[in-house]
Amino acid sequence: MRTFETFGRSFLLPVSVLPAAGILKGIGSAFTNKGTIAMHPWMADKTLQLIMGFISMLGGVAFKNLPVIFAVGIAVGLAKQEKGSAALSGLLGFLVLHNTLNYLLKVSGTLVNMAKDPTGALLAQHMQTTVLGIQTMDLNVFGGIITGVIVYLVHKKAIKMKVPQVLGFFSGPRLVPILTIPVMAVVALVFFVIWPIIQQGINELSVAILRSGYFGTLGYGIVERLLLPFGLHHGLNWPIRTTELGGIFTIGGKQYAGTISAYMASLGTNGAIDPMITRFSSGKFIYNMFGLPGAALAMYTCAKPQNKKTVGSLLLAAALTAFLTGITEPIEFTFLFVAPALYVIHAVLAGFTLLATNLCGAAFLTPTGHGLINYIIYGVLQGTRTHWWLLPIIGVICFFAYFAVFTFVIKKFDFKTPGREEDPSTIALHGKKETRQKLGVKSIKDEMEGSSNKELTLHDQALALIDAHGGPDNITNVNACITRLRINVKDESLVDKDLIVNELKAMGFAKSGMQMQSIYGGRANQLKVEIREILGMVE
């Protein structure tokens, strides 16, 4: 579970650009779609089309380059330190991977002649594509994900690797991109041999997910909500949205992997949008905008009369937040805090909401944020082909279903939802942190925050380093390079190397004559300045 959560959270950085890019793409596509222009002739204005075409192009940049964005983003997201080195290595590793594959395709005689393939049919047939102008094997977003993970593993080892003193310049963060080149070349060689087999397996799994049909939609909706309290839902969501695991769809004669790329490509066509592309997304709009506000109304109705004024304002704010932006945590974590059984009921209702929405043929999707704002951009503005009018119809039913079920269960089992407590001063909505603490659930983020709280402040660490080097009287000079804190001493026997490495968080320790070198990465210069200030050394 820890590995799954870590992997899932690493997706957050590369996908953080998608909401903004998606809005640009959605607005631009809405005004440049030929079907929409036919219904609204005023949109055919050349200046408007030029501007909207430009906006659509800007939004499409991110979606067309998802593999390289993931290569860099995942490497940075996983790296604990020296993230700049991880980013550079992620980009370099991605380029090495695909240039090596291009070379192997050439020497093996299997590189498709693009001059004889104007439609791109042969490229797709031979599982080849072009990435950043490089003709290579079609690894899709998986290529970026794999690159990011491997670069992270190289970064993790290389950042602390000791090198001979003569090669000291190439140690630490500088060593990471150097080692990335041969490692990714070997990875490319392995992929050249095994990827066709892996791709076949992925394709079959993708087909299985698509063939799971409505049962798969129901199961996804339930499981995805149940994973949220543990912070594990990202590991399910983003592979579905960005890789072949979400399905492979043919749109305009081209194949697109993952639900986001397929939907964005669909917005640029005049045809109908396949509801199977949006089946994991459309229903989320409905239970966010209608279902959870129904649950909020149920909690308000069940509150004690004297508490309704107080609890009403809290629940109204939470319900409006869910409706407008799709941020549901204030409501979800509140009834998870007071009664986990209510959250399980919510997960089941959410699954059936996704199923019902898919059955009705709704076809609107967003990269993230299932609220009114994105519904207008990705649903209403895209015209009737999204069947956007289904949302208020199904939404009203969903609202009353949530309201009726929650009202019955709260009263039946006397759950102490907000406003039903004995002490009115305790009325409050509950957030992630306190809910997880009550349930004994710890996420990676919680552990990281806990460990960061235990770290020494810069000043305390500087004081401890002075003591570890034999005190102020033993120190003659303090300096730093990019990653190393360099402290010259009079008597090296007074220097406590073990303390510096084990307790004062140095990533490594070396000495050159009477100069003690402690590796602190980007913190080295900060420590130098702090120590010099404490010792009264003037620059």
What digits encode the pLDDT tens for the residues 156-168?
888 767 666 656 5
pLDDT at 181: 93
Taking the C-alpha atoms of residue 311 and residue 301, their distance in angstroms, rounded to an integer, is 10
Question: Parallel, antiparallel, or unpaired: how do β-strands 248-251 and 508-512 relate?
Answer: unpaired
As a whole number, mean pLDDT of residues 314-333 equals 82
Is 472 a domain residue?
yes
As a whole number, mean pLDDT of residues 207-221 equals 80
Q: Phi, psi (5° rounding) for residue 81?
A: -155, 170
Instruction: Lowest mean pLDDT of 59-63, 171-175, 495-499, 530-534, name the range.
Output: 171-175
Instruction: Lowest mean pLDDT of 116-125, 248-257, 454-463, name the range.
Output: 116-125
pLDDT for 539 beyond 50: no
CA 398 to chain centre: 29
Tokens of 158: 């290389």
pLDDT for 219 beyond 90: no
Whether the model clears a pTM of 0.75, i.e. scores above it, the answer is no
Residue 270 is given by DSSP the state: S
Q: How many structural domains are present in the chain?
A: 1
pLDDT for 10 beyond 90: no
Kindly give the interhelix angle for 66-78 and 140-158, rounded to the nearest 10 degrees: 30
| Neighbouring C-beta atoms of residue 409, cutoff 10 Å | 18
Decide which of 430 and 132 is more confident.
132
pLDDT at 452: 43
- Residues 6 or more apart whose CB falls under 8 angstroms from that of 407 comprise 298, 301, 302
pLDDT at 391: 93
| Neighbouring C-beta atoms of residue 69, cutoff 10 Å | 26
DSSP notation for 39-71: H-GGGG-HHHHHHHHHHHHHHHHHHHTHHHHHH
**DSSP-based three-state secondary structure for 413:** helix
Is 482 a domain residue?
yes
Taking the C-alpha atoms of residue 485 and residue 410, their distance in angstroms, rounded to an integer, is 60
pLDDT at 244: 74
Region at 416 (left for phi over 0; alpha for psi -120 to 50; beta for the rest): beta
Taking the C-alpha atoms of residue 74 and residue 147, their distance in angstroms, rounded to an integer, is 8
Decide which of 43 and 359 is more confident.
359
pLDDT for 120 beyond 70: no
Instruction: Lowest mean pLDDT of 184-198, 263-277, 382-396, 461-475, name the range.
Output: 263-277
pLDDT for 56 beyond 60: yes
pLDDT for 485 beyond 60: yes
Average confidence score pLDDT of the chain: 81
| Neighbouring C-beta atoms of residue 186, cutoff 10 Å | 12
pLDDT for 454 beyond 60: no
Taking the C-alpha atoms of residue 120 and residue 490, their distance in angstroms, rounded to an integer, is 70
Q: Is the separation of the CB atoms in 514 and 533 below 8 Å?
A: no
List the beta bridge partners of residue 511: 516
Is 433 a domain residue?
no
Top-confidence range, 113-122, 257-266, 333-342: 257-266
DSSP notation for 519-530: E-GGGHHHHHHH
Q: Assign 79 a pLDDT band (cuts: 50, 70, 90).
A: confident
As a whole number, mean pLDDT of residues 14-37 equals 74
Measured between its terminal Cα atoms, the distance across the chain in Å is 50
Which domain does 499 fall in, by range?
A: 458-535
pLDDT at 312: 84
In 3D space, the residue among 242, 285, 321, 258 whose CA is nearest the CA of residue 15 turns out to be 242
Taking the C-alpha atoms of residue 280 and residue 212, their distance in angstroms, rounded to an integer, is 12
CATH number at residue 483: 3.30.1360.60
List the beta bridge partners of residue 485: 480, 518
CB contact burial 466-502 (16+ within 10 A = b; e otherwise): bebbbeeebbeebbbeebbbbbbbeebeebbeeebbe
Q: Assign 448 a pLDDT band (cuts: 50, 70, 90).
A: very low
> Using CA of residue 407, residue 410, residue 416, residue 420, what is the dihedral sign?
positive
In 3D space, the residue among 346, 345, 315, 344 whose CA is nearest the CA of residue 331 turns out to be 315
- Residues 6 or more apart whose CB falls under 8 angstroms from that of 373 comprise 324, 325
Taking the C-alpha atoms of residue 215 and residue 209, their distance in angstroms, rounded to an integer, is 10
Could you give the residue numbers annotated as active site? 481
Is 493 a domain residue?
yes
Kindly give the interhelix angle for 18-32 and 259-267, rounded to the nearest 10 degrees: 30
Taking the C-alpha atoms of residue 353 and residue 331, their distance in angstroms, rounded to an integer, is 17
Decide which of 1 and 236 is more confident.
236
Taking the C-alpha atoms of residue 504 and residue 361, their distance in angstroms, rounded to an integer, is 59
As a whole number, mean pLDDT of residues 102-107 equals 92
Tens digit of pLDDT for each residue in 435-446?
A: 656 555 555 455
Kindly give the interhelix angle for 458-468 and 524-535, rounded to the nearest 10 degrees: 70
pLDDT at 400: 95
Is 463 a domain residue?
yes
| Neighbouring C-beta atoms of residue 512, cutoff 10 Å | 11
pLDDT at 229: 72
Tokens of 38: 């036919």
Residue 272 is given by DSSP the state: P
Give the helix/strand (H/E) hosting 202: helix 175-211
Is 214 a domain residue?
no
Taking the C-alpha atoms of residue 197 and residue 398, their distance in angstroms, rounded to an integer, is 44
Q: Is the separation of the CB atoms in 148 and 71 below 8 Å?
A: yes
pLDDT at 351: 93
> Using CA of residue 455, residue 458, residue 459, residue 465, what is the dihedral sign?
positive
pLDDT for 451 beyond 50: no
Is 56 a domain residue?
no
Is 508 a domain residue?
yes
Q: Is the separation of the CB atoms in 179 and 154 below 8 Å?
A: yes
Q: Is the separation of the CB atoms in 298 and 384 below 8 Å?
A: no
Q: Phi, psi (5° rounding) for residue 254?
A: -115, 150
Q: Phi, psi (5° rounding) for residue 475?
A: -100, 130
CA 348 to chain centre: 25
pLDDT at 162: 66
